[in-house]
Structure 1
Amino acid sequence: MATTLPAWLTAALDYLPQWLAFQMRVSEQPGCVVAVAHKGEVVWERAFGSADLSTQRPLTPRHRFRVASHSKSFTAAGILRLREAGKLGLDDPVGRYVEGLHPAVAEARLMQVLCHGAGLVRDGSDSGHWMNRRPFPDRKALLAGLAMPPVIEGSTRLKYSNHGYALLGLVIEAVTGEPYRDWMRREVIQAAGLKETEPDGPPAKSVPFARGHSGKLPLGERVVVPNESETKSFAAAGGVVATAADLARFFASLDPAAKTSLLSPASRREMVHAQWRDPYSSLEWHYGLGTLSGKVGDWEWFGHSGSFPGTISCTLVLPGRDLCLSIATNAVDGLANLWAGGAVQILRAFATEGAPSKKTQPWGGRWWGLWGAVDLVAMKDHVKVAGPAQVNPFLNATEIAVTGKDKGRIRLAGAFQSHGEEARLVRGTDGTLRELWLGGIQLVTEASLTKELKRQSKKTQAAKQTVKRRAGSP
């Protein structure tokens, strides 16, 4: 790593892949790639699973993903770049640049469209292109949809619109006199220093590409979902093909505090500023100019997510902490959004409670019992008993105070747990850790539990055979 990382961040990045690998096992996802940037530089990335279940090709960090609505952040950056160059103003009506719009659509200001406040239709009267039932609309089909009036009055509420961002793509073409993908590749993607990103598909045959997958239902198994096709007039809304690492680099550069960026600090502040709140969501989040924002605990974030046929992705920037993480998954039920939140909880825990000390460091590993697995995760002055099957592994985690070599006391636990009782590690004659005791609960290694369950299974089968023999005897 080119940069020196804080000790707590190094410790967090040590645990993050252990948790994600377990999440992959539990969820039976095809694949996942995660990248973390610190001070704008990608300092850690990891891939899990398969890029294509039909061929069992391993997924790598260099695989490109369809990252869908992340494209809106790229498009918004393009609009703001043109504004900085004096080519347009955010209060300009879109009808100044694009003909053939319904009069009420033409009156919408660029600012309204950028923050999804123009009241425009989401995907037109037939969104079969998002179901792989038909090709993405071309310019003619897009304009036919925009010749219809807005669905609701503008500036009344947040109303997400892919048609709106596709319209912004037409604005960029009108202002620059170039095809959207050509101008965006040069003036946004290359200007940001990205080398693994394209404004639209299909991906070049020379680059590794993550195939999309269906859910396991209704077939009972996942199948490959075609996701290479060009999104045509919708590239500005959802066409981008990128690696998780490039997403982390790009979004980190949108942090108002970033030292290098294709946008001025003022434009970046405007881009991430919350414009609309979604009052109907169970999660508190807002939309800015091509960005989402919210909180994980007391940590604020901004970024975007993306859903393309067969892939789910999410990128979060943590302002004031010089961190950005991006997660891409290649199935329609991918858990990228939940895992991004869980990853932030892991980062937050280590940042708050510190890296392991010499006293706590020996406490570690994954331990198993009939009820599942727990992870011992050492912090500065205590050890957490994490739940790797949970989206937030540290939620309501038991804490152990280390009192001696392989001895501790449960200093914090739920009312139904073993609060105040002894915790201890048991080693074999060779010094290898063999058991963990939490109060009266014995936990063992995965290999030991596997053998135990197999023995129990054999006993059960033997008992069944005995019952059958007795039932058949005179």
Structure 2
Amino acid sequence: MDEWLKAGLDYVPRWIDYQVQHFAQPGCAIAVAHQGEVVLEAAFGTADLSTGEALTPRHRFRVASHSKTFTAAGILKLKERGLLRLDDGVGNFVPGLHPDIASVTVQQLLSHSGGLVRDGADAGQFTNHRPFLSTAELKADLVLAPPYGAAERFKYSNHGYGLLGLIIEAVTGEPYTTWIMREIVRAAGLTETAADIGLMTGGTLARGHSTRLPLGRRLVIPGDNLTNDVASATGFVSTAGDLVRFFSQLSPMSEAGLLSPLSRRDMTRGHWPDSESVLDRSYGLGIISGTLKGWDWFGHSGSFPGTLSRTAVFPAQGLAISVLTNAIDGPAQLWVDGIAQILKAFHAGGAPHEEVADWVGRWWMLWGAVDLVPIGGKVFASPTALTPPLAEMSEIQVTGRDAGKVIRASGFFSPGEAVARLRDGRGEVSEIRLGGTRLVSQSAFADELVARYQGFSKDRA
């Protein structure tokens, strides 16, 4: 493994651990793969707030719309075998649809450009007000006219991916879950992934959790409900490690043989922009894509009652990142981008040079924590709470064992001012002076807070 990557991966868990606590999240599991090999797996917080069970990388999560990527890979495998064409009308496989839906092509379903309704007139399956749909219930919605004509715009549709599951069943003559588990999940070498909760073997499910408001506390959402005949849209259960293994195989640059390079290029390129969103992203065939400050990515996200997750692959860098959170407001999007920003900084600057490698650690003051992060021959001071990380950095030029100077920073910070490390009687660094600001260890700062403010807080209680 490259030294820059080792150094970046060393900082990633420290940043995520702080973020989980800062955002008051129950738990989070992460994984990073490089060239298809998992190089980091970690978990933080709890799997179930009602029991206090510690979350581990082996806990399974409901990964919801990640399911669409598995389904899309299945459709493309059938296409490669000559069993269907992407320009086939879906009515060729599934009878009884509204004529406007029957003429929608397989490719339009894959790219969410068929104009279909998102979740039907009653979307209570996604708020735990009703079970997920059976085939009969799904088809009852699909005898109605769609909101838009085909190829008018990008319009996300869980019903559309439920219909793709029915197409797989019609072409293969097998239940969707049986075929997809054999031909995609096991073919990709995944051992911790199931197409629906009822197929999960081994491992323990990480429970979902509600938002903190309006109760001021989170409640456990079991997350063990079957997704029935829309498993192809939202049923999958997996781990962060399995997700980065699978998505890495979809990179056009991968040497994996799950799909041909042509199919992978077609999947991962943007077919339709999400033009109404502030996020610069497009949708391909079961794949979302975009760019992060020059690093192009593809992947998918997932939202299930109680969980939020996201996986992104950066093909040119050979990296894949997955973040799984077990609360409905989990900032998985922010944290995938944050991990990528950290790795991007180390990729550009390199592993810490020997002369600055010990200028490291988390230091505290009244305004929160600041991380000293050595990258290459430079040291950066970055507020730990920021997302993205390493965004508002002060660059420190080290001029001696315990001396330096801020040579680059926002004008609101301390550019041009001195930096010093102070040591205790044992010779250990106990304090940082960043310009005129004093920073100390977490334990010293906690003691300082109690000594200074606890009496006042008790008096006010």
**Deviation of residue 206 (structure 1)?**
4.0
Partner of 2:311: 315
After superposition, residues 199-214 of structure 1 pair within 5 angstroms as 199-202=195-198, 204=200, 206-214=202-210
Tell me, yes or no, if the aligned pair for 1:254 and 1:261 is still in contact at 8 Å: no
Q: 2:366 aligns with which of 360, 370, 373?
A: 370
Q: What SS does structure 1 have at the residue aligned with 2:65?
A: helix
2:357 maps to which of 356, 361, 364: 361
2:295 alignment counterpart: 299
Shift of 1:451: 1.2
Give a deviation string over 1:223-243, Cα, whole Å, max 9, x none: 111211110111010000111
Determine the C-alpha separation between the residues in 1 that align with 2:445 and 2:234: 46
C-alpha distance in structure 2 between counterparts of 1:199 and 1:453, whole Å: 49
Which residue number in structure 1 is paired with residue 165 of structure 2?
169
Match of 1:407 among 384, 403, 418: 403
Shift of 1:381: 1.6
Q: Is the 8 A contact 1:301 1:316 kept in 2?
A: yes
Cross-structure match for 1:452: 448
State the AA in 1 paired with 2:349: E
Cα RMSD of the aligned pairs, angstroms, is 1.3
Contact 2:383 2:392 in 1 (8 A): no
Cα distance, 1:462 vs. partner? Answer: 9.3
Aligned to 1:17: 13
Superimposed CA distance per residue, residues 369-393 of structure 1 (whole angstroms, 9 cap, x where no aligned partner): 1111100000112111112111112
SS at structure 2 position matched to 1:346: helix
Q: Does 1:334 align with 2:330?
A: yes
- Give 2:142's aligned residue: 146
* Structure 1 CA distance for aligned equivalents of residues 348 and 342 of structure 2: 10
Contact 2:371 2:381 in 1 (8 A): yes
- The answer to whether the Cα contact below 8 Å between 1:428 and 1:434 also exists between their aligned partners in 2 is yes
Q: 1:171 to 1:462 in 2, by over 3 A?
A: closer
Paired residue type of 2:159: H
In the TM superposition, what is the alpha-carbon distance from 1:177 to its structure 2 partner? 0.1
Q: Give the total of aligned pairs.
A: 461
Map of 1:352 onto structure 2: 348
> Shift of residue 406 of structure 1?
1.2
Q: Aligned ranges for residues 16-35 of structure 1 at < 5 Å?
A: 16-35=12-31
Structure 1 residue ranges without an equivalent (≥5): 466-474
Counterpart of 1:91, as a letter, is D
Matches within 5 A, 1:178-197: 178-197=174-193
Confirm or deny that 1:58 pairs with 2:34.
Answer: no
Deviations 1:160-199 (CA, angstroms, capped at 9, x unpaired): 0000000000000000000000000000000011010011
Aligned-partner Cα distance in 1 for 2:460–2:235: 58
Matched residue type, 1:75: T
Q: Which residue of 1 aligns with 2:98?
A: 102
1:359: Cα distance to partner?
Answer: 1.2
Structure 2 Cα separation of the partners of residues 218 and 412 of structure 1: 43
Report if aligned partners of 1:67, 1:313 keep a CA contact under 8 Å in 2: yes
Q: Which amino acid aligns with 2:171?
A: V
Matched-pair contact (CA < 8 Å) for 1:203–1:209:
no
Counterpart of 2:148 in 1: which secondary structure?
coil
Contact 2:223 2:305 survives alignment (8 Å): yes
Instruction: State the identity %.
Output: 51
Measure the CA separation in 2 of the matches of 1:274 and 1:221. 40
Deviations 1:3-62 (A, max 9, x none): xx1111101110001100100111110110000111111111000011111111111101
Question: Which one of the candidate residues 268, 276, 279 is aligned to 2:275?
Answer: 279
SS of structure 2 residue aligned to 1:49: strand
Contact persistence 1:203–1:228 (CA under 8 A): no
SS in 2 for 1:77: helix
Deviation at 1:207, TM superposition (A): 2.2
- Alignment-derived partner of residue 269 in structure 1: 265
Shift of 1:205: 6.8
Q: Is the 8 A contact 2:161 2:233 kept in 1?
A: yes
Q: How does 1:437-448 map to 2 (within 5 A)?
A: 437-448=433-444
Label 1:401 to 1:131 Cα distance change in 2 as closer, same or farther (>3 A): same
Tell me, in whole angstroms, the C-alpha distance in 2 between the residues paired with 1:461 and 1:304.
46
Local SS of the residue matching 2:230: helix
1:469 maps to: none
Q: CA deviation at 1:261?
A: 3.1
Residue 248 (structure 1) aligned with residue 244 (structure 2) = yes
Unaligned runs of 5+ in 2: none
Call closer, same or farther: CA 1:47–1:346 in 2, change over 3 Å. same
Tell me how far apart the structure 2 counterparts of residues 150 and 217 of structure 1 sit (CA, whole Å).
35
Supply the AA of the counterpart residue of 1:11: A
> Does the 8 Å CA contact 1:409/1:421 hold for their aligned counterparts?
yes
What SS does structure 1 have at the residue aligned with 2:43? Answer: strand
**TM-score, length-normalised on structure 1?**
0.95
CA distance in 2, matches of 1:462, 1:202: 51
3-state DSSP of counterpart to 2:352 = coil
Q: How does 1:71-150 map to 2 (within 5 A)?
A: 71-150=67-146
Distance across 2 between alignment mates of 1:370 and 1:227: 39
TM-score by length of 2: 0.98
Which whole-Å deviations, capped at 9, do the CAs of 1:123-152 have from their partners, x for residues lacking one? 000000000011001000000011111111
